[in-house]
């Protein structure tokens, strides 16, 4: 696969490490979250046949973590953004 890096352009997915679903970014608030919230965060993932938002770490590149929106049935990638919000280049 080729991931179109927002800063570096098209790069082979072999340069990246897959980190899992992008929901991992939504860590529960330790002040308010219930045990169920933590359980869901640690263990439960959707497994969609279709669009999936996921994290790819550019280990063999600039070390950015990207949020990649990918169709799991066709591997078509419809969006790529830097995970770090508002990160400038």
Partner 1 sequence: MHDLTPITALGGTAPRTDTVGDVTLTEVPDVSLASVAARVGQEDLCATRLAKLLGATAPEPGRASSGDPYAALWTGPNQWMLSADFNTHEDIAADVNAHLTDAASVTEQTDAWVCFDLTGPRINAVLELLCNIDLTRFDTANATRTSIHHLGCFVISTEAGQSVRILGPRASAGSLHHAITTAMASAL
Partner 2 sequence: MTQKNRLDGGQIDRNTTLNFTFDGKTYAGHPGDTLASALLANNVRLMGRSFKYHRPRGPLTAGSEEPNAIVKLRSGARQEPNTRATTAELFEGLAAKSQNRWPSLAFDAMAINDRFSNFLTAGFYYKTFMWPAAFWEKLYEPIIRKAAGLGSLSMQADPDEYDKGFRHCDLLIIGAGPAGLNAALTAGRAGKHVILADEDFRMGGRLNAETLNIADMTGADWAAHTVAELSALPNVRLMPRTTVIGAFDHGIYGAVERISDHLATPPTGKPRQILWRIYAKQTLLCAGATERPIAFENNDRPGIMLAASLRAYANRWAATPAQRIAIFTNNDDGHRTAQDLHTKGVKIAAVIDTRPDAPRSHDYEVLRGAQISDTKGRLGLTFAEVTLSDGSNRTVECGALGVSGGWNPNVHLTCHQRGRPTWDDTLAAFVPGGTLPPGMTVAGAANGTFSTHGALKSGADAARKALGIKGRAPAVPDAEDAPITQTPFWYVEGCSRAWLDQQNDVTVKDVKLSHQEGFRSVEHLKRYTTLGMATDQGKTSNMGGLAIMAELAGKSIPEVGTTIFRPPYTPTAIGALAGRMRGKEFHPTRLTPSHFWAKERGAVFVEVGNWLRAQWFPLPGETHWRQSVDREVTATRASVGVCDCTTLGKIDVQGTDAATFLNKIYCNGFAKLAVGKTRYGLMLREDGIAMDDGTAARLAEDQFVVTTTTANAAKVYQHMEFVRQCLMPDADVQLISTTEAWAQYAVAGPNSRRLLQKIVDSDYDISNEGFPFMACANITVCGGLRARLFRISFSGELAFEIAVPSRYGDALMRKLMEEGEEFDVTPYGTEALGVMRIEKGHAAGNELNGTTTALNLGMGRMVSKAKDSIGSKLSERPGLNEADALMQVGLRPVDAGDKVTAGGHLMNATGPVDAKHDQGYVTSAAYSPTLGSMIGLGFLKDGGNRMGETLRLVSPVTDLTVKVEVVSAHFVDPEGERVRA
Q: Which residues contact 73 (CB under 8 A, 6 or more apart)?
A: 49, 50
- Report the residue number, 37 or 62, with the smaller CB distance to partner 1: 62
Closest CA to 64 of 4, 20, 7: 7
CB of 80: closest distance to partner 2 in angstroms?
12
Would you count residue 62 as binding partner 1 (CB under 8 A)?
yes
- Report the residue number, 10 or 50, with the smaller CB distance to partner 1: 10
Which helix (H) or strand (E) segment holds residue 42: the answer is helix 35-43
Name the residues that contact partner 1, by CB under 8 A. 7-9, 12, 14-15, 59-64, 82, 84, 87-89
């Amino acid at each position: 696969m080729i991931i179109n890096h927002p800063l570096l352009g098209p790069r082979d997915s072999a340069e990246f490490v897959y980190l899992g679903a992008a929901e991992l970014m939504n860590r529960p608030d330790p002040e308010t979250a219930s045990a169920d919230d933590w359980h869901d965060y640690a263990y439960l993932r959707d497994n969609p046949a279709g669009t999936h938002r996921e994290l790819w770490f550019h280990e063999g590149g600039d070390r950015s973590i990207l949020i990649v929106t990918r169709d799991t049935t066709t591997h078509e990638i419809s969006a790529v953004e830097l995970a770090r919000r508002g990160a400038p280049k």
